[in-house]
Structure 1
Amino acid sequence: MSDREDRGEPDRGQAQSGDRELGERVRRLRRERGLTQRQVAEPSYTAGYISTLEAGRVRPSEAALRHVADRLGVGFDELATGRSARLVGEVRLRAADARRELATGDARTADALFRAVREDAARLDLPEEEAAALLGLGECALETGGLPQAIAHFQAAEDLLADAPLHRRVPALRGRATAHLLSGDLRYACYLLETAIDRLNAAGLPDPEALVLLYSAVIAPYMDMGAHTRAAQAAELALALAPRVEDPALVARMHRGVARTLIAEGRTEEAAEHLVRAQEMYRRLQIRTELAHCHWMRGYVHAQVGELEQAETELRTARALLLERRAELFAAQVGVELGDVLRRRGRAGEAGELLDGLLERLGPEHGAVHAGGAHRLLGLMADERGDAGGAERSYRRALELLRPAGAAGDVADLCKLLGDLLHRTGRTEEAVAVYRSGLARYAAAGTTTLGPAPVEPPV
């Protein structure tokens, strides 16, 4: 102990505002236990020292604080921070309950649980736990379609962890990128993910779980932007790192992303194998939304090979699971795929009614890519029944949605459909202009990402 502490003299040069809170805590605990300042001080310190400590005019050494904690019958950390191990444990247990509810129950119920955890974590000054609660709130908002709220929650989590290593911020960053992707901002989603990948790899010792999370996440915007080669490369790198990943949910997500790249390459049997692996993992973990996504992709695989009855079954299962969880944005996206299957099965009336209903919930900043897909399907059905005007209006509306989103492959496809329609109706010059527009959009530099492809991991 210092001479000043032994004599009970205040060290006013060191005292700070936090010392007043500590002093108030010592005074409260001493009075609750019916102790005098002398009883707390002896035998190592003086009553005067305890008096100055309680007044917030001295910053005690660790030895002094441990002595006071022992005399008051509390833990050192509880006295120093005001939070007990019991309270911290309770916050963490409630956070685990909230995560379980999000995985197996209702996202709105989970949202309320995460909000309570966040409030308590902030009150107890637990930044890690508060960031985890914000991450959970962001996932809840993603599931319920609250994309601006999701972005805000994920950004707040990143801000709380601003001084932490990058790999600790990756889950929140991935969530923010996903929200921008669903909003229709594909390029920015790619930018966020690619930048994080490069920064992790530049460190020389990349965190495998963080990298697999990022590589798995970047596949979706790559595919929507028509950058299939980059998507395949990301899938290969994720697979190479997978043996070093212990989180089964992350491995399942990786298999789902890999399957999407294989579908685009026409390797449907291999894609189905990856989806089965992911589905089994999600079933064991009881993560129902991700399980629904597996049914969704299996339906898409069946549709790609012309197995339309099986495709409809899988897509209806996925949609029912998502509607049950009130994940309306994801359910609407599945509904667009289901509409295409119904059209191909000759049930155009049913498909049109479904798509019209879905477009009430999809739009430029809320599932823009799938909204464009719905208008494209409505255009195809109008074209098939001889309604050239209706088809043109739907195609043009789809282009209005997909061009700002950066979905270059879909834009090129639509320009061909619209160009063919204009050519058939004698508007040759307009058709040529539309064809050129689609080709220029697809071939222009920078249409897939804002920079060069991410570097590969050094190991």
Structure 2
Amino acid sequence: MGTRDEPEVIGRRVQRMRVERGLTQRQLAEPTYTPAYVSTLEAGRVRPSDEALKHIAARLGVDFEELATGRSARLVTDLRLRLTEAQRALATGEAEEATAQYTALLAESEEYGLVEEQATALLGLGECALATGDLELGREHFERAEACLADSPLPVRVPALRGRAVAHYLAGELRYAVYLLESTLDELNRSGLQDPDALLLLYASVIGPYMDMGAHARAAQAAEFALALAPRVGDPALVARMHRSVARTLLAEGRLAEADASLAKAAELYRQLQLRTELANCHWMRGYVYAQNNQLERAEDELKQAHTMLAAQHAALYSSQAAVELADVLRRRGKSEEAAELLHGVLGDLSPERGAVHSAGAHRLLGIIAEDARDTEAAEEHYVRALSLLERAGAAGDLADLCRLLGDLLRRTGRVEAALDAYRTGLGHRTAPGTTTLGPAPAQPPL
């Protein structure tokens, strides 16, 4: 609960409530206080003690919180109930509906000065913006949530920090995203604040940027850590629905503390439901590792599972990214037509501002498929488009490989000078596999 209002605000509130109830200052004061004291209090010339406010609240038939802050405990609990409703909408993929709910809740939280609830609404709005691809707006919401939580312990701030990092990642700013996630992980592990949920969120979120930077060893390690930390939950959506119904009943009966406890459980489960997106990323990572080891059938299974989980969450950007990896495996398994169909679908969902690395991946694969079909003109066109996308995003690992593919194609079609140029560009972008230009990998979590 927030701090109490200024004396003059409290004074006006006491006077309004007293008049509404038809009480005199004497009736409000007795037997403990004098009418003169109530008069001074109503004029805002005295800062009432907690005891005085409790006495007056009892005489007015309201709770202490409502008198001191202007908001009833019921109002706060009702706000929390509606926050879990918005969380449910977001967790089940109804981002537009969730946005409308969170926007209204943010305005109410601000009006009543409820900082914690403001932060929750801002986090929700940030996640909605990521889901709909409005990355700049998402980042602004996460920054505001961080500001609200500036005095909170690090695990409480992790969702806002992670949201900001993901917004940077999806905008193609890979190094900065990794820096944010790694430094937060290190701080958490160093401080001994062993918060499995916060760690799971961070390890799962850093996988995508690692992959795009060519730091595959780090990505594989982060995926295994995340899967080891993953909560063993049957169906969080069902349990959360039960807690929400219970909270409604308790609220109707005026049992606010118990309703609050039920809502906290529901909110926790909706968060775990959103973690499904993160866990889908871990299946995606496993699929990638199988693909690297040439276990293509297992890779296809894992990547299809990841793609299905992400599509069910309506995580359009992520499901497009997983689809590119899946298409690569399908092509290698001789299913080129299925792969090409998947990739053309992906290119409809992505843009240079939003998923540049994966757009490039789709063009690269379509180029390879075109080369296999002896369509060198289409292949070259796809490679050149992929190259310009990767140069903008600074994804060095992929650039070197793409320059080799383009060079080989140019050499085969007799354009030796152009081929040499492509190879030179590629050499300038080589990175050792499994590394980034950053410091050492984050410490292992306390499993």
Pairwise CA distance, 1:402: 1.9
1:435 is aligned, of 418, 423, 437, to 423
Counterpart Cα distance in 2 of 1:109 and 1:287: 20
Q: Secondary structure at the match of 1:441?
A: coil
Q: Is the 8 A contact 2:226 2:282 kept in 1?
A: no
Given the superposition, is the C-alpha separation of residues 361 and 394 from structure 1 closer, same or farther in structure 2, using an over 3 Å criterion?
A: same
Task: Return closer, same or farther for 1:184/1:428 CA change in 2, 3 Å cut-off.
Answer: same
Question: CA distance change for structure 1 residues 328 and 214 in 2, over 3 Å: closer, same or farther?
Answer: closer
The aligned counterpart of 2:184 is 196
- Paired with 2:309 and 2:232, the residues of 1 have a C-alpha distance of 24
Contact 1:205 1:458 in 2 (8 A): no
The equivalent residue for 2:347 is 359
- The code of the aligned residue for 1:67 comes to H
Structure 2 counterpart of 1:307, one-letter code: E
2:76 corresponds to 1:88: yes
Alignment of 1:111 with 2:99, yes or no, is: yes
Q: Give 1:163's aligned amino acid.
A: D
Contact 1:131-1:161 at 8 Å conserved across structures: yes
TM-score calculated relative to the size of structure 1: 0.76
Q: Which amino acid aligns with 2:85?
A: D
Count the aligned residue pairs.
408
Check the 8 A contact 1:106/1:325 in 2, yes or no.
no
Match of 1:379 in 2: 367
Deviation per CA, 1:215-240, whole angstroms, max 9, x where unpaired? 22212211221112323443455567
Pairing of 1:281-320 with structure 2 (within 5 A): 305-307=295-297, 311=300, 315=304
Answer yes or no: is the 8 Å Cα contact 2:387–2:399 preserved in 1: yes
Distance 2:442 2:316 in 1: 33
Deviation for aligned residue 1:364: 2.1
Q: Distance in 2 between matches of 1:312 and 1:371?
A: 23
Do the aligned partners of 2:93 and 2:315 also contact (CA within 8 Å) in 1?
Answer: no
- Give the distance between the partners of 1:221 and 1:77, measured in 2 at CA: 46
2:45 aligned with 1:57: yes
For 1:409, the equivalent position in structure 2 comes to 397
- Structure 1 residue 300, shift from structure 2 partner: 6.3
Preserved CA contact (<8 Å) 2:343 2:362: yes
Residue-by-residue CA offset, 1:271-321 (whole Å, 9 max, x unaligned): xxxxxxxxxx99x9698766876886787688763439x949974x87677
In the TM superposition, residue 429 of structure 1 has moved relative to its aligned partner by: 4.3
SS in structure 1 at match of 2:429: helix
List per-residue Cα deviations over 1:360-389 (Å, max 9, x = no partner).
Answer: 431222011210111102211332233334
Q: TM-score, normalised by structure 2?
A: 0.78
Distance 1:145 1:292 in 2: 19
Q: Which residue of 2 aligns with 1:20?
A: 8
Residue of structure 2 equivalent to 1:166:
154
After TM superposition, give the deviation of residue 99 of structure 1 in Å.
Answer: 1.8
Counterpart of 2:42, as a letter, is E
Which residues of structure 2 form unaligned runs of 5+? 237-268
| Separation in structure 1 between the aligned mates of residue 192 and residue 300 of structure 2, nearest angstrom | 44
* RMSD between aligned residues: 3.8
Counterparts in 2 of 1:199 and 1:105: CA distance versus 1, 3 Å? closer
Pairing of 1:151-230 with structure 2 (within 5 A)? 151-230=139-218
CA distance in 1, matches of 2:312, 2:444: 40
- Which residue of structure 1 lines up, in the alignment, with residue 22 of structure 2? 34
8 Å Cα contact 2:284-2:302 kept in structure 1:
no
Deviation, structure 1 residue 127: 1.1
* Preserved CA contact (<8 Å) 1:376 1:395: yes
SS of alignment partner, residue 386 of structure 1: coil
Q: Secondary structure at the match of 1:437?
A: helix
Following the alignment from structure 1 to structure 2, what is the Cα–Cα distance between the partners of residues 172 and 286? Answer: 14
Summarize the Cα distance change of 1:211–1:345 in structure 2 as closer, same or farther, 3 Å threshold.
closer
Q: Which residue of 110, 125, 131 corresponds with 1:122?
A: 110
- CA shift, 1:409, in A, is 2.5
Task: After TM superposition, give the deviation of residue 77 of structure 1 in Å.
Answer: 1.6
Q: Which residue of structure 2 aligns with residue 330 of structure 1?
A: 318
Q: Which residue of 356, 364, 370 maps to 1:368? A: 356
Q: Which structure is higher in RCO with an 8 Å CA cutoff and minimum separation 6?
A: 2
Matched, 1:139 2:127: yes
Mapped partners of 1:346, 1:201: distance in 2 = 44
- Asked if the contact 1:298/1:311 (under 8 Å) is kept, the reply is no
Aligned to 1:418: 406
Aligned-residue sequence identity (percent) comes to 60
Q: Distance in 1 between matches of 2:203 and 2:336?
A: 38
> Unaligned 5+ residue runs, structure 1?
1-15, 252-280
Conservation of the 8 A alpha-carbon contact between 1:335 and 1:358? yes
Aligned mates of 1:319, 1:452 — CA distance in 2: 31
* C-alpha distance 100-327 of structure 1, shift in aligned 2 (>3 A): same
- Is 1:392 paired with 2:356? no
Aligned residues of 1:409 and 1:442 also touching (Cα < 8 A)? yes
Q: Does 1:234 align with 2:222?
A: yes
